[in-house]
Structure 1
Amino acid sequence: MHILVSALGAQPDIITETVGVFNYAPTADFYAASRSLPQITAARQGLSRVDELWLVATDQPHQEISMADGHTRIINSTEENFACIKQQCGAYGVQCRLFLLQDVPDIKSNDDARAFHDLALRVVAAAKRRANGGKLYLSLACGRKTMSADMQDAAWCFGCDMLLHILGDSKAEALPVLLGAVAANPALQNLRDQVPEFDSAAFLPCPPQTSFLDQIQEQKKQSQHFFTTYYLKEEESRANFHILYTLPLDKIKALRDEKIGIDPKRQDEELEWLKHLPKADLHCHLGGVLDPEDMIAVAECYAEDLEQAARTNPDFARWRATLSPFQVPPSGGWKGGASTRRTSCTSQQV
């Protein structure tokens, strides 16, 4: 059993485009006229035809909105969109199911977002079990951005055989982007197996709840160091960015053992090493590297620059006037024990 899971928003055609990535034939290929067909054909290698399409959606009602130009804009209900998708995907031999977040017409609050997140997690967990060794594919292509984020989080929690998106180029051509497989979080597999089976109905209204999301978040909190111990087979008092622990063990050891700033003679060599080290997130929290006196010294270094900018740039002066007295140093800088360190601060380029 191969299953495709996707959120469903206001544009059901995206669902047909997504199904068309997997289920096609030479006489009925959604992408047959695409300029990128050779690349799409190559990307499809290894993908399986899906047997079932599972959709997660909010309870959007049918609406007719009067526009300023006198026209009427019609917004189909979720049920109407689902009926259209069933008809279109039936040509591909796909059985469709809709999991509807009951009485929530749209994501407009944190409660709505959490309820949809919970439903997405439960649906993906149930789909993983239903696939029973078959393929599970997750799409990020439809629905609001929060819905796509929820689908991606479900992938990181329970794993999938392919995460994909559908993008449009400058000529409005649908282009599938295959993002690869995602491994399941080992710490959450016990929760996946606890999800109750859904009713077998094709249309399934689901009351809003957050109990499963609460369990997932609590499990993540309790197992925050599991990722490191899973890969390194040892306990760590503190964890780094978790993605670093997916590096080969020899690379992890090299990063652990490398000490810099100890031997002045190695400064050039160390700077060159740092220059070639891949950077994923390069920033500095001043509160973590400076004591209070140093923070005051740094602020005093820039006090004159701020005053000069305020005198010469009216826009900057108006913005600066909106700040509280605690957000910007007064004219002349703060006075205190660190004022005599101003010159050294500048010379060290802190």
Structure 2
Amino acid sequence: MTTDYPQSVQPRPIGKLTHPAPTLLLCTLGASWAVIAEIFGWLAPGVLDLYAHHPRRAELDALRAAHGLRAPDELWVCSTEGAQTAASLALLDDWWGKLGRPLPLRIWTAAGTDQLATQAECDAMRELTLRVVLLASERCAHGGQLILSLAGGRKTMSADLQGAGAIFGAAAWLHVVGPEPLPAPLAGRDALLKQQQPALFSCALATDLANSIRPLVAGRGTRSELLDVALEDGAGPVTAQRFALPLAAPGTPCRWAAPASQGAAWLDAELRLRQRQGSQLMGNFLAQVAQTEHHDNWRSLYRLPPAQIEHLRRTPVSAEHLDWLTALPKADLHRHLGGCLDIAAQRQVAERIWASIPKQNRLQRLTDIGWLLSEDGASDASDALDDADYDLNDAPDASQDWPWDWPQRLQAQPPQPGDPTGAILRAERCATLLRNASAPQLQRNLYGVTAPRIALKTRHAHGFAAYERPGELSGSALLGHPAALKPYAQAIVVQARAEGLVYLELRGSPHKYRPSDPAGFVYELRAALAAAGADVGKTGQKPMAPGANAAMPRIGFIWILDRRDPATLQKTVLAALAAQALAPDFLLGLDVAGDEAQPLTDALVAAFEPAFAACLPITIHAGEGEDASRIWQAAYRLHADRVGHGLSLADHPQLAARLRDRSVCLELCPSSNREVVGFADPSQPASFGLPTYPLQRLMDLGLPLTLCTDNPGISRTTLAGEYLAAARMTPGGLTQWQALALLRQAFVHAFLPAAQREALLKAVDAAVFAQLIAPAP
């Protein structure tokens, strides 16, 4: 039941509009042609200010504005044949000529009709009316307006026009009311008055005449969803291409003859058939959608009109959808605390650390890092330093690259009084370097020295360390300093808001940031994030309402454990449980990282027993360029709920099926996967010839999966950017419908208690639906 939609009936594009659509005024015409002028003069006062002297002119203008009605770009008329119609059309043409023919006037007449005294005449007129409204509705798609005038024409014609508007949609049904009888000039009671009407209605009416009539809005029509689904016999959606009607040339009536016999060629007959089969048609359409899905989408999306569902399913995500992706409420399940900030945010943190350094120590810190800035950087600093803050940005830039081991040299010091691990000294040096190195120096030595950043694990001499190089002045380089946590948390919240994140799981290694009190670090990080405006899961606090409170992202934390250090693993697990006791709604789970080749010994598994007993959710880093054979063992023995990356599962369908059946979700990070492992990306010439990103294969295997950022500061990306990267790197692209489904998977697999997760899902569902049905800007 695949359905093809002509361009003319595609629903409103999700993103930028490609062209403006017209506003059309469609009227029926009988003996009283002047009602067309009465409606037109109200809608288009800039062309014909018919009601300029109306005592309630302000009310009439307010009514038009309240309904958002625009002046017509074209005037369309449909009518019968016969002498009476011919006389009315002649008067209409006379009036239009007196106005200077300001717009295209298109007229259709139903062949073989006159007084609509027979069933055949009524059927032919109804068929013409339906086809004219169908054609008009398609031409008004993408932001135009179709306005229908129910005044004028015979009662059956007005009824047909209203019925057509109820099926194909209309911005408004208009009518004109007045006293009975109307004043003689308005009614045109004799031949002379009729001949004078075109001149009468070509300028503002006198006050007494204007006050005798009043336009009103009788309602509006909403396009029927039944138009956009296929019939059981295979007939596609209702379109003007299927039920053809010539576009009348301006000023020349188009005589249209109905098909010889009623049947499949009659639009009226198909509309009645669709109404009879309504529920079944919608059920068949949604069943067809479900058959092609690997993952359920947001529940509310299945309430969208079929044409919009099809549009989402067929529209590939591209760069023009960046704003759309950013505006959607999103969740990121895999974002490292140490690699999330860009250089600008890192420098803001560095300023706070610098401000906390006693002034008598600042010269030494400048001396410590001066060798990285210029050959005589330390003497430059000594000469310039005074009671005011010193900024080396005015110093000459060094042209040479920093030695590869500069991060180690910044932290290689014997223990300091009050700083046994050297974390504070290291943070002060890194902050001083961030603050005083020039932007070109930082860009070059954090990013440029490892360019092109593709397949670094195998292509670069320093392997994975080359990928990590942009993060050497962030994370543990700064977070060991007590002044760093507050600005770091503020930057995270600002970043989350800018990206449209309503849920974020940060992950990091507190035992590396603060070895003496890692649980205390988690508790203080929670407090700093809350102070910055995040929802950190305070006891008794209701889940946030995305869309209504998107400025308050829900943020939790996952503690990273290193399987390469089994000797201290159990101690770290116990520290994580202590942090969970201090902040039960903030410490959400554990992450297992490190060399996948590390044997999964009984002792290592035993170290996790306290976490199993506490039912802490677990995610594991696995399958990022390494063989997948160990993924299942780690996932099974460590009871993993999610797998970070898991790319190599695409080559092991049986193993993938096991993880799928256990609903283990993959956290895919396209940009970092490209940088570390290496995958083809059309936007990156250095990636040409590399393997295809396995997103489509993993989706085809039915694995739960979502997209994440990993280290957005290192990869210079955002979550919306990851969806664009995935779309580029996936043959055939990624549709908007697929993107929405992947986005939902992040919320489904969030490490939240079930009740909170369900509440968040419902709130985000409503917010996504509201965004998709919102009028185009």
Residues 12, 85 of structure 1: 8 Å contact kept: no
What is the Cα deviation at residue 103 of structure 1?
Answer: 2.5
The secondary structure found in structure 2 opposite 1:155 is helix
- Asked if 1:191 is matched to 2:238, the reply is yes
In the TM superposition, residue 131 of structure 1 has moved relative to its aligned partner by 2.1
The answer as to whether partners of 1:17 and 1:30 remain within 8 angstroms in 2 is yes
Q: In 1, Cα distance between the equivalents of 2:49 and 2:283?
A: 45
Q: Distance in 2 between matches of 1:200 and 1:143?
A: 19
How many equivalent pairs are there? 218
Aligned partner (choices 59, 75, 82) of residue 53 of structure 1: 75
In 1, Cα distance between the equivalents of 2:112 and 2:162? 24
Aligned equivalents of 1:127, 1:201: Cα separation in 2: 14
Deviation at 1:220, TM superposition (A): 1.3
- Cα distance 1:224–1:145, how it changes in 2: closer, same or farther (>3 A)? farther
Q: Equivalents in 1 of 2:269, 2:180: separation in Å?
A: 41
Alignment partner of 1:24 is 2:72: no
Which residue identity does 2:150 align to in structure 1? L
Query: Would you say the 8 A contact 1:15–1:85 is kept in 2?
Result: no
| Counterpart position of 1:201 | 249
> Per-residue deviation at 1:218?
1.4
Q: Matches of 2:100 and 2:111 in 1, distance apart?
A: 25
Contact 1:162 1:182 in 2 (8 A): yes
Q: What is residue 15 of structure 1 aligned with on the other side?
A: 36
Deviation at 1:111, TM superposition (A): 1.3
Q: Work out the CA distance in 2 between the residues paired with 1:59 and 1:218.
A: 29
Q: Which has the larger radius of gyration?
A: 2
Name the CA distance, whole Å, in 1 between partners of 2:162 and 2:99: 23
Given that 1:126 and 1:195 are in contact with CA atoms closer than 8 Å, whether structure 2 keeps it comes out as no
What does residue 213 of structure 2 align with?
A: 174
2:145 is aligned, of 115, 118, 135, to 135
Change (3 A) 1:24 1:115: same
Match status 1:2 vs 2:23: yes
| Aligned CA distance change for structure 1 residues 76 and 191 (closer, same or farther; 3 Å) | closer
| One-letter code aligned to 2:34 | D
CA deviation vs aligned residue, 1:15-55 (integer Å, no higher than 9, x gap): 00111121113x94111122322211111112111011110
Residue 81 of structure 1: CA displacement? 3.7
1:153 aligns with 2:173: no
Q: Which amino acid aligns with 1:218?
A: L
Counterpart selection for 1:218 from 259, 266, 273: 273
- Unaligned stretches of 5+ in structure 2? 1-21, 183-211, 229-236, 286-777
- Structure 2: distance between partners of 1:197 and 1:146: 21
The one of 114, 123, 133 aligned to 2:123: 114
Partner of 1:119: helix, strand, or coil?
helix
Q: 2:477 aligns to what? A: none
Q: Note closer, same or farther for the CA distance 1:107–1:41 as it changes in structure 2 (3 Å cut).
A: same
Supply the AA of the counterpart residue of 2:165: A
User: How far 1:171 sits from its partner (Å)?
Assistant: 7.8
In 1, the alpha carbon distance for the partners of 2:119 and 2:181 equals: 36
Deviation string 1:158-188 (CA, Å, 9 cap, x unpaired) is 0011111111136841211112332111102
Distance change in 2, residues 1:125/1:15 (3 Å): same
When normalised by structure 2's length, the TM-score is: 0.26
Q: Which amino acid aligns with 2:270?
A: Q
Conserved 8 A contact 1:16-1:88: no
CA distance in 2, matches of 1:228, 1:41: 44
Q: Percent identity?
A: 25
Assess, with a 3 A threshold, how the Cα gap between structure 1 residues 197 and 169 changes in structure 2: closer, same or farther.
same
3-state SS of 2:128 partner: helix
Q: 1:204: Cα distance to partner?
A: 0.4
Change (3 A) 1:116 1:39: same
* Separation of aligned partners in 2, 1:177 and 1:218: 33
How much has 1:142 moved relative to structure 2?
A: 0.8
2:58 corresponds to which residue? 38
Conservation of the 8 A alpha-carbon contact between 1:20 and 1:30: yes
SS of the residue corresponding to residue 179 of structure 1 reads strand
Report if the CA contact (8 A) 1:165-1:176 is conserved: yes
What CA distance in whole angstroms lies between the structure 1 residues aligned with 2:215 and 2:40? Answer: 10
Indicate the residue corresponding to 2:172 in structure 1. 162
Matched letter for residue 78 of structure 2: V
> Residues of 1 paired with 2:48 and 2:108: CA distance?
28
TM-score normalised to the size of structure 1? 0.56
Mark the runs of 5 or more structure 1 residues left unpaired by the alignment.
63-74, 231-350
Provide the secondary structure at the position in 2 that maps to 1:161.
Answer: strand
Q: Partner letter of residue 249 of structure 2? A: A
How far apart are residue 9 of structure 1 and its match? Answer: 0.8
Alignment check: 8 A CA contact 2:107 2:248 kept? no
The answer (yes or no) to whether the contact 1:57–1:78 under 8 Å persists in 2 is no
Question: Following the alignment from structure 1 to structure 2, what is the Cα–Cα distance between the partners of residues 223 and 144?
Answer: 30
For 1:292, the equivalent position in structure 2 comes to none
Q: CA-to-partner distance for each residue in 1:187-216, whole Å, 9 max, x for gaps?
A: 024213533252342320011345111111
In the alignment, the residues of structure 2 paired with residue 229 and residue 31 of structure 1 have an alpha-carbon distance, to the nearest angstrom, of: 51
Q: Equivalents in 2 of 1:168, 1:112: separation in Å?
A: 30
Matching residue within 88, 95, 101 for 2:104: 95
Alpha-carbon distance between aligned partners in 2 of 1:170 and 1:81, rounded to the nearest angstrom: 23
